[in-house]
């Protein structure tokens, strides 16, 4: 099945800094989403982005499907951005399951 690798595993930044989170996947995908897991465990949708670029406020994401990676950019970080960021992909084969990366744990210091 598809392998999903996220980097870096951990990131500690000062408030106001910018960050780039990466998601590499090993095969072609139909779907790719980025999530932020809040302290209570809920996965909050950030982007549904199987290809192209999207922006939402301080966050933006780019997926280069032909090169099998996606990037999540967070600008002007705030302490509320802390948490774990996951990327999840679904392959193109009928039996492909949804695969999550292991996440990037982001800690923003005040």
Q: Enumerate binding residues for another protein (CB under 8 A).
A: 30-31, 33, 35, 40-45, 48, 86, 88, 90, 95, 97-100, 102-103
Nearest approach in angstroms of CB 76 to another protein is 26
Of 15 and 96, which CB lies nearer to another protein in the complex structure? 96
Cα 65 to Cα 103: distance, rounded to the nearest angstrom:
19
Cα 105 to Cα 95: distance, rounded to the nearest angstrom:
30
Of 42 and 66, which CB lies nearer to another protein in the complex structure? 42
């Amino acid at each position: 099945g598809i392998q999903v690798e996220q980097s870096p595993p951990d990131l500690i930044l000062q408030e106001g800094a910018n960050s780039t989170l990466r998601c590499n996947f090993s095969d072609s995908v139909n779907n790719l989403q980025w999530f932020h897991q809040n302290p209570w465990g809920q996965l909050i949708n950030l982007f549904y982005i199987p290809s192209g670029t999207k922006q939402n406020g301080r966050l933006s994401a780019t997926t280069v499907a032909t090169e099998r990676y996606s990037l999540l950019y967070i600008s002007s970080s705030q302490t509320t951005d802390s948490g774990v960021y996951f990327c999840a992909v679904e392959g193109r084969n009928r039996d492909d399951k949804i695969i999550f990366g292991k996440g990037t744990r982001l800690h923003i210091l005040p």
